[in-house]
Structure 1
Amino acid sequence: MSWIIELLVNAGIILLLAYLLPQITVKSFWTALWVALLVAILNVLVGWLLSVILNVVTLGLITSIVQLIVSAVVIKLADKLVRNFEIKGFWPALVIAIALAAANYLIDGSDNDREDISGFTPKVELTA
């Protein structure tokens, strides 16, 4: 269920950034949802390979930056595959990658907090 929520949030972020940045064009919410799904699929299929290659080249020293660059490349690839989605330049794709990473971090963090609260067991100490 959280995957669906992440997908909807990512589509909303793509739409919001298309509204805020003139270099990004999205036709509709359904296009943004399709792009979010395609980016997720491409991250699984292509993103891991690019991450491995770039981490080997950089000796794993800048893993977080490599992940953002790989995400931006995947978003540019989605730009080439989806007709009603256009990004002019690499920097707007990097902005989308940063926004999606931040949103997914917040979603995952709030999900972990919820699990911790639901699995809470009070600690009882017996003193003699």
Structure 2
Amino acid sequence: MGFIINLLVTAFVILILSYAMSSVHVKSFWTALWVAFLTAIFTATIGWILGGILNLFTFFLLEAIVGLLVTALMLKLVDKLVGNFKIDGFLPALIIAIAVAVALAIVGWIRGDNDDRYTLLQNQPGVEQVYKA
């Protein structure tokens, strides 16, 4: 269910930014949904390999920035493959990648995806003493 929600949020952000930015062209919501799906698939496959290679050069210190760059590159790849989707330049692709990352972080926070980390932390032995002090 989370994957579908992420796809819908990504498609919505792409569609909104196509109205806000003159360098992004999307024909319809279905095109934006197709772009979101292809971007997710390419980021999970090609982007994972590319991100791993780039992170080796940065010693994993710039992992978030590398992730944004890889997503922007995957958006440009999808731009070449989908006829009804066009991004003029790399900077708009990077802006879309940042906006999608922020939107997905907000949706994840609203859905409570980070609560699992807190629950795991509470179940660790010795943590009660830290919270009581």
Identify whether the pair has TM-score above 0.5, normalized to the shorter chain.
yes
Cα distance in 2, alignment partners of residues 39 and 114 from structure 1: 24
Deviation digits for residues 43-90 of structure 1 (CA, Å, limit 9, x no counterpart) = 111111111010011111211111110110011111011010000000
Q: Secondary structure at the match of 2:10?
A: helix
Quote the residue 2:130 is aligned against.
none
Question: CA separation in 1, counterparts of 2:98 and 2:33?
Answer: 18
Residue 108 of structure 2 corresponds to: 108
SS of the equivalent of 2:15 reads helix
Show the counterpart of 1:8: 8
- CA-to-aligned-CA distance 1:4-41 (integer Å, 9 cap, x gap): 12111111110000000000000111100100000111
1:62 aligns with 2:69: no
TM-score, normalising length: structure 2: 0.82
Question: What is aligned with 1:125?
Answer: none
Q: Hey, what does 1:93 align to over in structure 2?
A: 93
Moved more, 11-20 or 54-63: 54-63
- Residues 108 and 114 of structure 2 are in contact (CA less than 8 Å); yes or no, is this contact kept in structure 1? no
For these two proteins, the number of residue pairs brought into alignment is 117
Q: 1:49 to 1:113 in 2, by over 3 A?
A: closer
CA distance in structure 2 between the aligned counterparts of 1:72 and 1:114, rounded to whole angstroms: 25
Give, in whole Å, the separation in 2 of the partners of 1:114 and 1:78.
30
- 2:24 aligned partner: 24
Coordinate RMSD, CA, aligned = 1.7
* Gap runs ≥5 in structure 2: 120-133
Report the residue type matching 1:20 in the other structure.
Answer: A
Q: 2:125 corresponds to which residue?
A: none
Amino acid at match of 1:98: I
Per the TM alignment, residue 2 of structure 1 is displaced from its structure 2 partner at its CA by 2.2
CA contact (8 A) 2:14 2:32 kept: yes
The change in CA–CA distance for 1:13 and 1:59 in structure 2 (over 3 A counts) is same
Q: In 2, distance between residues paired with 1:52 and 1:28? A: 33
User: How many angstroms apart in 1 are the aligned matches of 2:75 and 2:111?
Assistant: 25
Secondary structure of 2:25's match?
strand
